[in-house]
Structures are given as structure tokens and as C-alpha cells.
Chains A and B, each alone.
Chain A
């Protein structure tokens, strides 16, 4: 940090620069006129307009002027401080001034991009520039502080994104806590049979990663667990994880499943969540054969012993000496310290019952794409046989795309994966049953690598494509060939007429939605959501895995619908962003912190309870409040609430703000 070569008591010599930003500002704001106006303001020594202030020559201009004109304050009117405040502070510093002798004016996002009237926009730019010029006079030299970063990382969600992020970080030698809500990691991908567009087996590529993350020396895996509390700030988060009781001691269970065989329920009786209700399980169960960890769990709602305390406990006998079953297990709260967090909490599928005209829940042979996925899988409830509810093989099938998607009544967005997912399922359907398969679509969206080729393959394999949004599914036969079938009514928009198409089975390509509790998770990690409810990235192009909370990153479908390759790419990116913070070891904190003028503090403690970051404590000996600068985020709550006015804030001093207001109001 440079020495404050010019402090506030010297004569104030201001350099003002207005940036055209090409046409972004220049086409709306008359930049030379603004520069002309500011040149006459008190203290302004240099006033210039320039095409691109952020360019190297633009920055050098500032440095040269500081040298030539002995400037000691710099004001740049250009874009948002989010983009170039750092650039110009650095330029100011290189010119030999304290970087906080700089003030930025946003005349792009706040002016030229939101106004069309050239005269009014120019007037606004003049007012904003005047305000900054008045304010910068009272700037003080400040120093940034460095806060160390805890090297451990929390990954929330054990789907393919979370697994990949945890493995990447673990392989880089970072300690990772991977928290998964369900009893096994694997997420949606574990339920898939094959993956598009290569048709490689999902389990074959996922399960090695699941095992690897389980056995990784740097990864602590907590399944059946949820994050319930997050405190702190980037580099220093304190996270509370709730471990739900499995009623089985994870370290003792070896996954032999003898307990399941010997359960007093001789037959599986309860809906199996993993097979989306297409099969049954017992009260004591393992989610699926390749579950990680290979540990059984007890459903407390179904287990007689847990529910009523009255059971022969045959499972205990089966477990014998291992004594892995513990009916008295209670939930456990664990607290961990981490520096960064990756949120990869995934998506939920659209509930097809919300579109009643497609008959899901009414006609038994209308299934969702995930249900068909379980039917196709050899490890699924039918061992890979695609069968109708009566056990027979379907001879014809229709896939309805965009179920719940691209519809203002339900979800506006395109779920991105359903076209490809449906084409994959259609190919498998044909392969397994030799049925006549038709896909009903509005547009085929196959932009990924190898995806258009996969579409062509589907066409060549004789899958029929009918362009048109299906109006309804009915069992009301109007023609002999429709008897006993499900009839799809649709306009074949390419042929140019409405058609009635009888089929045996209908597959609804349900879209993706944010998780039900996305809003709670958002609040927990202090993130934002877009209007649709997906977690919001810091910048859609330039910071796709960052959030507005430093140190919290997002990956996978919690940010928006995406396929497996994109999810993994994001997970890797999030891991790299976390590592960039960890390996630097510290973050530089903006010195916009609050401070207490001790002599004036009355010791009323009102600020202590108001601080949202618990940065204020109370010194009982002195009877004064103390602010921990490392914890202060500069929100200003204490400053505004202090009854004696003894709390002040760097960069937001009273005289700075009042002179800024005067500047805005002073323009003619």
C-alpha cells in the first residue's frame, strides 16, 4: 500500500475523467459537455473525456496527470464500480496516491443504459459527477485488511455435481465435507440407465466416483444429513450439520442385509422412493444395490419397533454380534469450520399431475420419463423389461415433450435435457420392445456435443417425430383401431392436419424445477434466486458459478437445468474457484468498516444486538462497544442506530455523504 502522499489537509486538486465506453455511454451522454461542466467546479484541476478509460492508455492518462498536475483526488465517471472500481483504484495507486482517494461515478448502468432522453441523461451525468467531486474532497487514506481463509470446504449435495466437486478438491489436497440429504449419494444420475448421447451406462461411470468419494482420505461424507445453520463470512464459515438417525450405526454396518431378509415384514410393502414408487421395500432397507455408503437404514414411519416399541426385533437377531442396529439413535448436530462452500443441491422433476389433460395418475400406462428410466434399467423393478401395468409388452408408445416446460401456466423455461433424454429413452424403448415409437415435440433442442448426431441417429432408427404440442390424452375411442388404447390428439403441424394417434404407453418428459426448499436453502447460504427460483450466479457469463456471497459457489442443476457434462464442468469450475481463494490464503477486505469514536460511546449496547454479523462486542471494563473489523461487512446498521452518533464508517463519513447529496442537488 502506498503512503498517503497527499492527505486531506493539503490543497485539494481533483482530476475528473468521463468515459464514452464506445457508444455505451457516448451515444446517450454528451461526455465532452460533462467534462466542460466539471472543469469549472471548485478543486477540479483536470477534466477530460476519453473513449475507453479502462484501457491501458486511459489508466496511464490518470497516472500521468497525477504526476504532471500534482493531482491528489481522482474521479472517474464510467461503468459500475463492480466492474472497474478496482482498475481505477489501482491506477490511482500507481500514480502514487492512496487508492481510496478515488471515487467512481456510474453513468452507464445508472444513466446511459436506462435513459433515452439525451439532454436529461447528460444532466443526470453532470449531477452525479458533481456529487462525486464534492465527496472526494473528504476522502481519507485507508488501508485494506487481509482476512485469512480456512482451507476446508463444504459441499452441499451428493449428486454428480457435488461428488465431482468434492473429488476435485480432495484430489488437490483440500479437506472436504460432503453433505447429502438422502441415505445414499448419487442423486438423479444413479437412477438413470444410460446417458446420452454416447449411451454409456450411467452406473458404470457414476459408481466408481461414488466409491472414490466415499473412500477418499480428504473427504468426509455425511449422508442422510442436512446443513441447518451457516454463520460467518468468506474464509471463516461455521456450519452446523444435522445427521438424521438411521437407527443403524454407520461404522458397524457392513451392508450384509441379513436384517432386511429377517424383518418381520416378510414381503416388501412400502413404496420404494428410489424406484419412484414402482416397487416396494421393507421398513429396514438399503436404497439401491450400489448405494454409497453400503449401510441399511430404518424408516421410522414404518418400523414397528421405532413406531410402537412392539416388535419381535428379528433384525437385531440377524445382525447378531455386530450390534449395528440402534433403535434409540437420536439426531446429531455437528459443527464444522470451512472457508468456502459449494452448493450443488440439484433439482426436482415437474409434477405431471399438474397437467390433467395428459392423464398422469388417471391412466396407468401414462408414465414419467424417470419412471420409464427405472423400467429400462436392468437393476430396476422389472429387471429392464418395459411392460404395461397388465404385464404385457407395449407395441406402440408416444413420448410427450415439454411437459410443464415452455408454458407460462407452469414453467416458462426450457429444461434443456428432455429432448435428448427422451430420444435416448425412445432408442432404448425400441431396442427393448421393437415398438413403434413416436416423439411429440415443439422444437428439438440438441445443441450439445454429439447431440445433433444423436437426433439424426434417432431419425434413422425409425423413431417417428411429430411436431405439435399434444392437446390431450384420452381413452375415448372414436375409431375401431383406438379401442383399448390411449389416444393422443395433436396437430401434426408439419403435415398440416390434426391427428388422433392411438398408443399403448405414453411417456411424459417432465421438466426440471428448483427444489421445493430452494428458498430456505437460499436464505441459509445467503444467496439470491432468479424469478424462476434457480440460484442466481454472480454474472451469467463471467461468473457462472459464483454467487453474490463471497466464498459461496453453485454447481449443477440448482443453478438451472443442465445435462451431466455441463453439471460436471460447473462442479469443476466451482472447485477451482474455491481453490483460488484457499490457495491465496487470504482475502482483501474493503475498508468500509464501521469504527467507534470511543470518547463519545455511551455504552448503551443498542448496536451490539443489531449487528447482523455479530461483529460488535462490549468491553465491560471500559463500558464501551468494540467492533471487530474482520467481521464487519460495512452494512451501516450500527452507524444509523447509534443514539450518540459515535459510530462512524469509513468511506461513508457524514461529511462525505452530505457533500455528495449537496452535489446532486447543486446542478443547474
Chain B
């Protein structure tokens, strides 16, 4: 019982081994992220961001951490998932850094490396959204929301039954997945992108 009341003390100082060499350069090499070296850490992004209030690292800090190769800290931060893609930071940045694009690059990287917060709705939404677009060519909103509910918080489906019922009875709840007409052509395009290491190089 004594232990339970003891303060947990862990090392907060960062050693050089805490960095992952080359990470910053990899992110900066993603299309749209090449202006990051120019960052002067002015904090305009953090100041304009409507969601900084909930973030563990401010967008400015994320920029600093990426540049300094602190991969683990960045990919595990909630900041990249709270970014709502409003693009305020990108519009205001005095160095024309496309901060939102960098956030996307970081989200992709976090999903790829499976380090995203598993029950947070935003990465689930992102994943399901992408999956649906890739397989059907477009999304079906009702099915996407259902997927999100089931994977993030299935109990919420039960508590929203009245809403669901209303949607079904008025014919607004589409159950049949919608799809585009020439799926094969989309597949061909996606295959080309994927073969080019995802950088769009055919």
C-alpha cells in the first residue's frame, strides 16, 4: 500500500540516445514538408491553433521535436491527432511552413508504426475513411460513422438507438455501400502510387 502512495519518479532529461537520428530529415522529405528547416519557433502556429488547449505538445513544440529527431515523443503526442486540419497555422506561418501537411505526415507515420492511441476516434476515423475510399472510390457516411462507433466506443451505438431509428424511418440511413463506377481505373492509379513508394513517383 505504501508503494501506491509513493510519487513515481522517472527521468525527464533527454539523452542523445532518446533521439532517432534521421527522423526529422525523413519527415522533411515528405511532399509539402520541405519548409520545416526554416522554422524560427515564433509560436504563431500554437497561437492560432484552436485546439492547442487540449494538446500535450503545442504545434510549435512538435515542429521543434521533429527537427531535433525526437521521434518517439512526437508520434506518441496527442497533438497530431487533435489537429482538425483547419489550416490556420499554415495560413499564418511567417515562414510559409505547411504545418497541417506536416501533421498529416506524422499521422501517417504513427499509423504505419502502430504507435497511435488505439481507442482514440480520430486515428480510427482516418483509417476507416482511407480504407473505404481505397476500396470503394468514395465513402458512405452512415457506414463510416457506424465503423467509427463500433471501433472507438461501441456502447455509444446503443445509447444512440433513437437517432438511428429516426434516420432509418426517414430513409436517410444508407445501408448499401456506395461506390464509384470505374473502380478498376482507381485501382490502377492507386497501384501506381503504391509502387512508387507512396511518393507518387510512377
Contact = CB atoms under 8 A, between A and B. Distances in A.
Interface of A: 444, 455-456, 459-460, 462, 464, 466-467, 478-482, 492, 494-502
A497 B57 CA distance: 12
A460 B38 contact: yes
Contacts of B143: none
Nearest to B34: A460
A495 B70 contact: yes
Contact of B38 (A459, A492, A501): A459
Interface string B28-60: 000000000111110000000000000001001
B16 A495 contact: no
Nearest to B62: A495
Contacts of B57: 496
Interface centre among A467, A495, A501 (most CB of B within 10 A): A495
Interface stretch (B7-15, B113-121, B134-142, B151-159): B7-15
A466 B19 CA distance: 14
B68 to A, nearest CB: 6
A330 to B, nearest CB: 60
Given A481-B15, A481-B16, A495 B37 contact: no
A502 B19 CA distance: 12
A459 B37 contact: yes
Contact of B14 (A460, A462, A480, A499): A499
Contacts of B14: 492, 495, 497-500
Looking at chain A's contact residues, the main secondary structure is mixed
B71 interface: no
B15 A494 contact: no
Contacts of A492: 14, 64, 68
The 4 closest A-B pairs by CB, nearest first: A498-B13, A494-B64, A479-B15, A499-B14
A423 to B, nearest CB: 13
Interface residues of B, number: 20
16 contacts: A455-B40, A459-B37, A459-B39, A466-B68, A478-B15, A481-B16, A482-B15, A492-B68, A494-B61, A497-B13, A497-B14, A498-B13, A499-B13, A499-B15, A500-B14, A500-B15
Contact of A467 (B41, B70, B95): B41
Interface string B58-99: 001100110110100000000000000000000000010000
B4 interface: no
B17 interface: yes
B94 to A, nearest CB: 11
A502 B40 CA distance: 24
Nearest to B57: A496
Contact of B16 (A456, A460, A482, A494): A482
B17 A479 contact: yes
A292 B7 CA distance: 70
A514 to B, nearest CB: 33
Contact of A497 (B12, B16, B40): B12
A532 B16 CA distance: 40
A460 B38 CA distance: 6
A477 to B, nearest CB: 10
A342 B180 CA distance: 83
B37 A460 contact: yes
Contacts of A498: 12-14
A496 B64 CA distance: 10
Nearest to A496: B61
Nearest to A455: B40
A464 B38 contact: no
A498 B121 CA distance: 33
Given A459-B37, A495-B61, A495-B68, A501 B16 contact: yes
A523 B158 CA distance: 91
Contacts of A455: 40
Nearest to A500: B15
A481 B64 CA distance: 22
Nearest to B13: A498
B61 to A, nearest CB: 6
A464 B65 CA distance: 12
A460 B95 CA distance: 12
A128 to B, nearest CB: 51
Nearest to B63: A494
Contacts of A497: 12-14
Nearest to A499: B14
B45 to A, nearest CB: 13
Contacts of B41: 467, 494
